[in-house]
């Protein structure tokens, strides 16, 4: 397959908003060759997985920008990326596509129900992508797909009942019950928008959402608002707290308390065997995991305390999940 003559090769995004560079993806194992796309508000990860499960041409490129609904420009971009991957690897013929996106997703209907940063409402993304790419498309929520990859390949593989929590600019989550994602029509797993206080107001319009207090983005923002100093992300605030900065300590402690409350609620209601934590904040190591373990044990009584496990697939969990879902169609 030749690349369209009028298509210029899309520039790569070297690192994401947190500064993380794209890492080599874990292999899937033997299976059908598939295309996979993990769409975010600012960038898209794309790759062609061969019959050995190796990610060929894995790259991160900008999500196209448009006023309002970005469905049309996104589908066009997927077509260009797919053409580039197939031209670069002509001996690998994909049999299906995996496409995962953020927001509220109805995977069964193939709809992007709502995504505030991408502008769509009830957008038939699965069918549009299938028509554009000429292949069957497995369509899912990005964090739900990431949780599936962690269940099959990463930190959640030992647990049939688990919660995957991604703590970055915001907080996203997914539930695995009996080894299968629990979706509730796309509305389940919005842990970042579970209320833990009466305020502040979240960008979603609700009050006191977990992510407005405890996400990496919120920790950095709250420190900047309190001091007038712009920290080098949440990791800088945590380091300042460890060094005795009282403002950083108060912000970090309140974030830990909010996360503990949310995990306690999940433990009481869902009783997961494990909570797998990924995203930029997970790289805080013991400052996060040891504190959460101690605070959760102190907060609860008869409950089964879940294991708190670092995610293993890092930023590639979404695209690995997309590829796994695509293989189910191939």
Find the range with the poorest average confidence among 75-79, 152-156, 184-188.
184-188
Confidence (pTM): 0.82
* Pairwise CA distance, residues 164 & 170, whole Å: 14
| Mean pLDDT of all residues in 177-189 | 87
pLDDT at position 315, please?
A: 82
pLDDT at position 95, please?
A: 98
Give 8: exposed, middle or buried? Use CB within 10 Å, 0-12, 13-18, 19+.
exposed
pLDDT at position 18, please?
A: 56
Task: Evaluate whether 103 touches 115 at the Cβ level (below 8 Å).
Answer: yes
pLDDT at position 186, please?
A: 78
**What DSSP letter does each residue of 115-179 carry, written as one string?**
ETTTTEEEE-HHHHHHHHHTS-EEEEEHHHHHHHHHHHHSTTTT-SSEEEEEESSSEEEEEEETT
Flag whether pLDDT at 227 surpasses 70.
yes
pLDDT at position 219, please?
A: 95
Instruction: Label residue 4 by pLDDT band (50, 70, 90).
Output: very low
pLDDT at position 144, please?
A: 87
Flag whether pLDDT at 103 surpasses 90.
no
pLDDT tens digits, residue range 116-136? 789 999 999 999 999 999 999
| Mean pLDDT of all residues in 174-199 | 89
Flag whether pLDDT at 5 surpasses 50.
no
């Amino acid at each position: 397959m030749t690349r369209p003559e009028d298509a210029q090769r899309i520039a790569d995004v070297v690192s994401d908003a947190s500064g993380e560079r794209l890492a080599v993806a874990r292999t899937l194992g033997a299976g059908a060759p598939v295309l996979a796309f993990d769409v975010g508000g600012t960038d898209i990860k794309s790759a062609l997985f061969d019959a050995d499960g190796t990610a060929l041409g894995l790259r991160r490129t900008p999500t196209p920008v448009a006023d309002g609904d970005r469905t049309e420009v996104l589908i066009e971009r997927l077509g260009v990326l797919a053409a580039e991957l197939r031209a670069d690897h002509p001996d690998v013929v994909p049999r299906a596509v995996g496409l995962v996106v953020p927001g509220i997703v109805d995977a069964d209907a193939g709809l992007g129900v709502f995504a505030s940063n991408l502008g769509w409402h009830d957008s038939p993304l699965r069918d549009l992508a299938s028509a554009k790419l000429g292949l069957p498309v497995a369509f899912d929520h990005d964090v739900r797909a990431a949780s599936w990859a962690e269940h099959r390949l990463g930190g959640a593989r030992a647990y049939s009942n688990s919660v995957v929590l991604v703590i970055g600019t915001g907080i996203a989550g997914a539930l695995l019950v009996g080894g299968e994602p629990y979706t509730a029509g796309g509305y389940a797993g919005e842990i970042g928008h579970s209320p833990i206080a009466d305020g502040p107001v979240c960008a979603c319009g609700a009050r006191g959402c977990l992510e407005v207090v405890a996400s990496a983005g919120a920790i950095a923002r709250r420190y900047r608002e309190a001091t007038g100093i712009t920290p080098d992300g949440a990791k800088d605030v945590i380091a300042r707290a460890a060094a005795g900065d009282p403002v950083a300590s108060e912000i970090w402690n309140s974030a830990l308390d909010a996360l503990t409350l949310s995990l306690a609620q999940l433990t009481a209601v869902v009783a997961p065997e494990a909570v797998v934590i990924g995203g930029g904040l997970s790289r805080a190591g013991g400052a996060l995991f040891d504190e959460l373990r101690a605070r959760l044990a102190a907060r609860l009584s008869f409950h089964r305390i879940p294991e708190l496990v670092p995610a293993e697939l890092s930023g590639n969990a979404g695209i690995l999940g997309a590829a796994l879902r695509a293989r189910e169609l191939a």
